[in-house]
A and B are shown apart, each in its own frame.
Chain A
Amino acid sequence: GDSVTQMEGPVTLSEEAFLTINCTYTATGYPSLFWYVQYPGEGLQLLLKATKADDKGSNKGFEATYRKETTSFHLEKGSVQVSDSAVYFCALSEAAGNKLTFGGGTRVLVKP
């Protein structure tokens, strides 16, 4: 079945540092890939997505590129802020509007 593996946290960074969260997946077809963010005490918010190979999703300074050859969708941000402290989830969906398979989540803590 489908699965998503992402690096375990917590990841602790200083403000303005570079952030990378690795995510790899296994899927039977050609899934869409997503990054969701969960701020403390809140639900999930879609951060970015990519629907086909070589697509790059970007939002709020975050980027991730759909790499079919390495089955990866690593999340990056060049300069993090304290407000980026949250849990980040990588996810895939095999079909449009279908259920999501989530990775384990990576907690990121940005210190001033």
Chain B
Amino acid sequence: GAVVSQHPSWVICKSGTSVKIECRSLDFQATTMFWYRQFPKQSLMLMATSNEGSKATYEQGVEKDKFLINHASLTLSTLTVTSAHPEDSSFYICSASLAGSGNTIYFGEGSWLTVV
């Protein structure tokens, strides 16, 4: 079946550095992907909508210069956390929609980011 894969699953980085998280649709093309953030024991909050070939659409309160999203191909979206700080430590998860399957939304495995 359709699979969305994220990489890396776990990443630890130092404060002030940048880290990139990849989201790939393995069996299908996804013109739109979504990036969510989940703090411990909280729900998922949508950060941005990633559109292939165009700029991402960010939710209110999300800093677009800090969370850079690039959707360069129909199977890959990347989220780069720039100048990371400990408060950016969180679980980041992406999703993609498979057209023709009732537009079922599939999630990646998620990426745990710890900034030290």
Contacts and interface: CB of A to CB of B under 8 A. Distances in A.
Interface of A: 34, 36, 42-46, 49, 51, 89, 93, 96-105, 107
A1 B24 CA distance: 30
B42 A97 contact: no
Nearest to B30: A97
A51 B107 CA distance: 19
Interface string B18-43: 00000000000000101000000111
B11 interface: no
B83 interface: no
B102 A96 contact: yes
Given A97-B103, A97-B105, A43 B44 contact: no
Contacts of B103: 96-97
Interface residues of B, number: 23
Given A89-B44, A99-B34, A100-B34, A46 B104 contact: yes
26 contacts: A42-B109, A43-B6, A43-B107, A43-B108, A44-B44, A44-B93, A44-B95, A46-B107, A49-B102, A89-B43, A89-B44, A93-B105, A96-B97, A97-B32, A97-B99, A98-B97, A99-B34, A100-B44, A101-B46, A102-B43, A102-B44, A102-B45, A103-B43, A104-B43, A105-B42, A105-B43
B89 interface: no
A101 to B, nearest CB: 8
Interface in B85-116: 93, 95, 97, 99, 102-110
